[in-house]
Amino acid sequence: MPYFHQSACISPQLSFPEADLTQIRTSVKNLLNVVEPDYPGIPAGIKRRMGKSVRMAVGAALPLLEKHPQPDGMIIATANGGMEDCIKFLNQIIEYNEGLLTPASFVQSTSNAAAAQIALVTKNHQYNITHVHRGLAFENALMDVVMSLKENKNAAYLLGCTDEISAYNYNIDSLAGWFRKEEVSNIDLFTTSAAGAIPGEGSFMVWMNNEQEEAVAGLDDVRTVHTEDPAIVLHAFKKFLSENFAEGEMPDLMLTGENGDMRLLKYYDAVESAVLDTVPVARFKHLCGDYCTASSFACWLSFQILKEGSIPSILLKKNTASKPVQRILIYNNYRGAQHAFVLVSSAHEFLVDR
Amino acid sequence: MSRIIITGMGLISAIGNTVAENRDSLQFERSGIGHIKFYKTSYAGRLPTAEVKHSTEDLNKKIFGEPNPSITRTSLLALHAADEAIRDSGLTAEQMASNETALVGATTVGGMCLTDEIFHDALAKDHGTPYLSSYDYASVTMAIQSRYGMMGEVSTINTACSSSANAILFGARLIRNGYAKRAIVGGAESLAKFTINGFNALNILSSKACAPFDRDRNGLNLGEGAAFLVLEKEEDCRDKKNYAILTGYGNKNDAYHPSSNSPEGDGPYLSMKDALQNGGLRAEDIGYINAHGTGTENNDETESRAMIRLFGNVPAFSSTKSYTGHTLGAAGAVEAVYSILNLVNQEVYPSLSFKNPIIETGLVPVLEYSKQEFIHVMSNSFGFGGNCSTLIFSKT
């Protein structure tokens, strides 16, 4: 079974190098931008040429690779890659009317630049792939690691993701009506009722193998579905529950991707209706904002919750945990069309007397 | 472990709108490389490309009847090829919608073929274009997903020029690991100012038709197109057409430079070796190689070195990019279909525009169409970021 080991998370909260969720950072002008470290591990010459998305990915990956220099593969998710570099290059094309351009932004903007840079910096020749399927890119990467660890039982993988807010994709998504129009603090995201979310960004990296020893969590299952029909989401969710829980058993916590967009509440209501009323439900997008690979932040949060055994109150939507949290079910929804269920469990659940 | 069988194929490129038309062009040495007719770029007339011979409006009408206002050329090409593959395999609407059918797409440009529209929408305060949700890579795969109401696992991969080779191997792995019973896999790419200017800035576009593996080659020609394959488990498709077996696949990284191969072709060598190992084959089992062969100085020499390292005596090989141009994210799937045509028809297609071998390596690609007997065909796809992938197809 796949286990999560060391991880690193660069997010809008104080998550890197160590987690500190006692203070919550608030959004500025409806944006939740990451707290970028200085990245002392990245050589200055290389760092200067990196766009933010690649920089965050390499910055999060390098500390893990100091301890484990050569993974058997790098499995990276990013929906948009280097969006800022991409538009920078498009700008040049228009501005110079397709004249003589410099290729740096073009090369940096390709989606696989993050996975490629990490492989290049660490001279790693192994399996290397970039999943870009919008709101499910991270789940596809998780699925890839599950398969890789079945195919190669003794292997270890670097799994991760990165996505950035750029002024341009922010503008495009705003025009499409996906973000709040009125100014709102992330702290009030769930107490105000409106259409739209607050955008966020971040990078998450984790070392994974089949070894339970010293693991922070296990990855029990991951499944996804495309639909706009809440009834189909409910059906898929019930199937996921029945495949992973014995009759009458429930997750100790539901962690959902509610993003403050009232148009999407029907999906969360449907999913929450399928678990017992006593199951605690928590949310995370008021901390990290909404972006394509935001469910990775939930994954990282679940490690913190499993470590502490309790749920930070800032996350809770309803109920509190009456026993130590062992199994966390993450339901994420991207813009009402892409749905994912991920089950993360304590790596040591069988050591605890239930 | 179940053998993975190809039961359907679809392909649109500069040399034909269907798999059959493509084969016809390959047999009769008709290249699709020429002047740009439909795409608006200041390089039209200056840089030859391999363009699909349909306007976007025509494709839209052909596929949707009533034109879809928010769909991009890349997605239309994807739908054209996927429709053909699904029809060819005889999959029913019910099978397509079932949660047992996975879909894995690939592209490097996605909806960014609409350079001017994306630029407008990135700055406009209101009145966005109809394409606001069509710029990303996933939009291409999701066009197929929504057309067939697919409920199975769906994924999009972008590893630059090896993207669709990785889509094919990822689909096979989804089946083998129980995430799906069958998978629709492939990729699509359309010409774009983004890629034309990007490759031009890197000085690797040729002003003439590309000449893969030729001593005096001076770059690649960009192409566009899409190809999709239907993968099924052997035990599930005994009563239908079996084109070939996907015997082995490899994925390795060159880890040398963001946009060029290492001098000895480490990534290409490791990727080919990985595919052999994965398929339980020896180098001498390979009867023919559809090379990556872009026509750039760097690729063709390093790929040659890698082939010599692995095979010693290099089997017959050629580059079909001398017909289709380099279709980037679609290339792995386009060339997978050509490799399967090699096998099914026991024939090889010549590399075009080749005159003299590269001095240091001396390799000569296939120069004439001929019938040949072989059991295993290898197809290479190498991309920026060192992403190298190799597929091996075998006779059923």
> Is the per-residue pLDDT at B130 higher than 60?
yes
pLDDT (tens digit per residue) in B344-370:
999 999 999 999 999 999 999 999 999
Q: Which pLDDT belongs to residue A317?
A: 97
pLDDT one-digit tens code per residue, A243-252: 999 998 999 9
**For A47-66, what is each residue's pLDDT tens digit?**
988 999 999 999 999 999 99
Chain A neighbors of B153, CB-CB under 8 A: 140, 143, 223-224
Question: What residue ranges in B51-170 does DSSP mark as E strands?
Answer: 101-106, 154-157
Determine the residue type at B176: R
Residues 13-32 (B) with a CB less than 8 A from some CB of A: none
pLDDT digits (tens, 9 = 90+) for A267-324: 999 999 999 999 999 999 999 999 999 999 999 999 999 999 889 999 999 999 888 9
Candidates B49, B112, B137, B205: best to mutate against A (most CBs of A within 10 A) is B137
| Dist CA A260 CA A184 (whole Å) | 10
pLDDT above 50 for B44: yes
Rounded mean pLDDT, A80-85: 83
Label each residue of B332-373 as H, E or C.
Answer: HHHHHHHHHHHHHHCEECCCCCCCCECCCCCCCCCCCCEECC
Q: How confident is the model at residue A349 (pLDDT cuts 50, 70, 90)?
A: low
Q: Name the closest residue on chain A to residue B109, using Cα atoms.
A: A110
Q: Is the Cβ pair A172, B122 closer than 8 Å?
A: yes
B388 carries an active-site annotation = no
- B-chain CB neighbours of A140 within 8 Å are 153, 155-156
User: How distant is the Cα of B362 from the closest Cα of chain A, in angstroms?
Assistant: 27
Share of chain B above pLDDT 90, in %: 95
pTM of the model: 0.98
Q: Taking residues B166-184, what's their average pLDDT?
A: 98
Closest CA to B364 of B319, B311, B297: B319
Check CB contact of B108 with chain A, cutoff 8 Å. Answer: yes
Is B80 noted as a catalytic residue in this protein? no
B150 to chain A: nearest residue by CA? A226
Query: What's the distance, Cα to Cα, between the start and end of chain A in Å?
Result: 21
Of A80, A117, A232, the CB nearest to B136: A80
Alpha-carbon distance B185 to B166, whole Å?
9
Per-residue pLDDT tens for B234-252?
Answer: 999 999 999 999 999 999 9
Average pLDDT, chain A: 94
| Tens-place pLDDT, residues B117-129 | 998 999 999 999 9
Mean pLDDT of B76-85: 98
| Residue B24: φ, ψ to 5° | -60, -45
Of B54, B80, B113, B161, catalytic: B161
Closest CA to A81 of B316, B177, B137, B273: B137
| Structural contact between residues B390 and B378, judged by C-beta atoms closer than 8 angstroms | yes
Instruction: Identify whether B48 is preceded by a cis peptide bond (ω within 30 of 0).
Output: no
Is a pLDDT exceeding 90 seen at residue A352?
no
Which residues 171-190 in chain B show a CB within 8 A of chain A? Answer: 173-174, 176-177, 179
The predicted-structure confidence for B363-385, as pLDDT tens digits, reads as follows 999 999 999 999 999 999 999 99
CA–CA min distance A189, chain B (Å): 24
Chain A residues in contact with B266 by the CB 8 A cut-off are: 125
Mean local confidence (pLDDT), A12-32: 96
Q: Is B16 helix (H, G, I), strand (E, B) or coil?
A: strand
Beta bridge partners of A333: A339
CB contact under 8 A, A136 and B387: no
Is a pLDDT exceeding 80 seen at residue A212?
A: yes
* Mean pLDDT along residues B29-57: 94
pLDDT level of residue B313 (50, 70, 90 thresholds): very high
CA distances from B367 to A17, B116, B191, B216, B317 (A): 58, 41, 28, 17, 9
Residue at B92: amino acid letter: T
Q: What is the pLDDT of residue A81?
A: 82
Cα gap B383→B187, rounded to integer Å? 14
pLDDT tier at B91, thresholds 50, 70, 90: very high
Residue A205: both structure tokens together: 């990296």
Under 8 Å between Cβ of B223 and B49: yes
Q: How confident is the model at residue A351 (pLDDT cuts 50, 70, 90)?
A: very low
B192 pLDDT above the threshold of 60:
yes
Closest residue on chain A to B171 (Cα): A144
B contact test, residue of A80, A102, A105, A106 with most B CBs within 10 A? A106
Q: What is the mean pLDDT of residues B182-186?
A: 98
Cα distance from B169 to chain A (closest Cα, Å)?
Answer: 11
- Is B292 designated active site? yes
Q: How many CA atoms lie within 13 A of B182 on its CB side?
A: 25
In B32-91, the residues whose Cβ lies within 8 Å of chain A are 41-43
Identified catalytic residue from B210, B292, B376, B388: B292
Say whether A175 and B128 touch across the interface (CB within 8 A): yes
**Whole-angstrom Cα distance, residue A44 to residue B339?**
45
Instruction: Output the six-digit token pair for A183.
Output: 């100014």
Interface membership of B2 toward A (CB under 8 Å): no
- The 8-class DSSP code of residue B213 comes to T
CA distance B387 to B267: 8
Compare CB distances from B157 to A131, A173, A224 and report the shortest one's residue.
Answer: A131
Sequence letter at residue B127:
H
Q: Is B154 on the interface with A (CB under 8 A)?
A: yes
Q: Cα–Cα distance between B388 and B361 in angstroms, integer? A: 21
Give percent of chain A above pLDDT 90: 82
The pLDDT of residue A354 is above 70: no
Nearest residue, CB atoms, B253 vs list A101, A125, A168: A125
List Cα–Cα distances, B88 to A197, B10, B92, B140, in angstroms: 43, 8, 11, 21
* CA proximity to B247, closest of B210, B292, B282, B204: B282
Most confident of B40-49, B107-116, B217-226: B217-226
Distance in Å, alpha carbon of A40 to nearest chain B alpha carbon: 22
Structure tokens given for B299: 């690729």
In this predicted structure, the answer to whether residue B157 has a pLDDT above a threshold of 50 is: yes
**Partner residue opposite A103 with nearest CB, options B202, B255, B387:** B202
B146 in reach of chain A (CB within 8 A): yes
Q: Per the CB < 8 Å rule, is A128 touching B155?
A: no
**Which residues, 6+ apart, have CB-to-CB distance to A172 below 8 Å?**
B118, B121, B122, B128, B132, B135
Mean pLDDT of chain B: 97
